[in-house]
């Protein structure tokens, strides 16, 4: 609110709306910015204020990008027969960092959540089904989170995609790398047994 009577208070109120930032941290951040180079404050403000205008969704996979199509969709070396469905862009980034997938992606930007009023119509599932139908995709790996909503979305996707002569798979659930069985929850231990593989 430029021109307000309490510019620091206004900034603290806006910063406090960020996740994990309480009033105390917001106050510390505001005073840090005030004590820093004004050019830094302007660069950060401009970057934040224009981020929605500068970031668009890839026309093919809905990944965030600066142009009409993202770098992964433009990359001819990616395997066009493999498609990975994720809920959010940070999940895609985590998969890319792991180097364990060389196909392409489809970002839902959400999960089915009937209790919050998010049904199949609210997610871009038609675009996903059309993409699977019109392309050479042979396997869809559903990498939605292992939460209730992520699992429900995975089951729903399996139903709507199976009719299209495509294999639908789900990422494994089990004990994380380096994890102790002693500290794992019961559901995770159960899944680790269900998903056991021959050695």
Task: Work out how close the CB of 34 gets to a second copy at its nearest, in angstroms, rounded to a whole number.
Answer: 6
Q: Is residue 96 a contact partner of residue 86, using CB atoms and an 8 Å limit? A: no
Cβ-based nearer residue to a second copy, 87 or 137: 87
| # chain residues binding a second copy, by CB under 8 A | 51
Cβ-based nearer residue to a second copy, 109 or 191: 109
Q: Which of the ranges 5-13, 113-121, 155-163, 190-198 carries the binding residues for a second copy, by CB under 8 A? A: 5-13
- The sign one gets for the Cα dihedral 156, 162, 163, 164 is positive
Q: Using CB under 8 A as the criterion, what x/- string covers residues 148-187 for binding a second copy?
A: ----------------------------------------
Q: Is residue 28 a contact partner of residue 34, using CB atoms and an 8 Å limit? A: no
β-strands 104-107, 139-142: how paired?
unpaired
Residue 136's contacts (CB-CB under 8 Å, 6 or more residues apart) are 80, 81
Q: Is 96 in the site for a second copy (CB under 8 A)?
A: no
Q: Which of residues 6-25 bind a second copy (CB under 8 A)?
A: 6-8, 10-11, 14-15, 17-21, 25
Helix intervals (H) in the chain: 7-15, 23-35, 38-49, 51-54, 71-74, 89-98, 125-134, 148-162, 186-194
Q: Is 2 in the site for a second copy (CB under 8 A)?
A: yes
List of residues contacting a second copy (CB under 8 A):
1-8, 10-11, 14-15, 17-21, 25, 27-35, 38, 40-55, 64, 66, 88-90, 93, 109
């Amino acid at each position: 609110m430029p021109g307000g009577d309490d510019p620091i208070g206004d900034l603290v109120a806006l910063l406090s709306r960020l996740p994990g930032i309480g009033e105390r941290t917001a106050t510390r951040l505001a005073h840090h910015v005030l004590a820093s180079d004004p050019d830094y404050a302007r660069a950060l403000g401009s970057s934040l204020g224009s981020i929605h205008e500068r970031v668009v969704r890839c026309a093919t996979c809905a990944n965030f990008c600066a142009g009409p199509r993202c770098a992964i969709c433009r990359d001819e070396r990616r395997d066009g027969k493999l498609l990975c469905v994720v809920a959010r862009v940070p999940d895609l980034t985590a998969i890319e960092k792991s180097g364990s997938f060389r196909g392409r992606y489809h970002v839902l930007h959400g999960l089915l959540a009937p209790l919050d009023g998010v049904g199949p119509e609210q997610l871009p599932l038609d675009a996903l089904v059309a993409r699977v139908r019109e392309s050479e995709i042979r396997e869809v790996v559903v990498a939605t989170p292992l939460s209730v909503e992520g699992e429900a979305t995975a089951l729903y996707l399996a139903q709507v995609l199976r009719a299209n002569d495509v294999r639908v798979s789900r990422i494994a659930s089990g004990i994380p790398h380096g994890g102790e069985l002693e500290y794992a929850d019961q559901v995770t231990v159960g899944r680790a047994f269900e998903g056991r593989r021959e050695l």
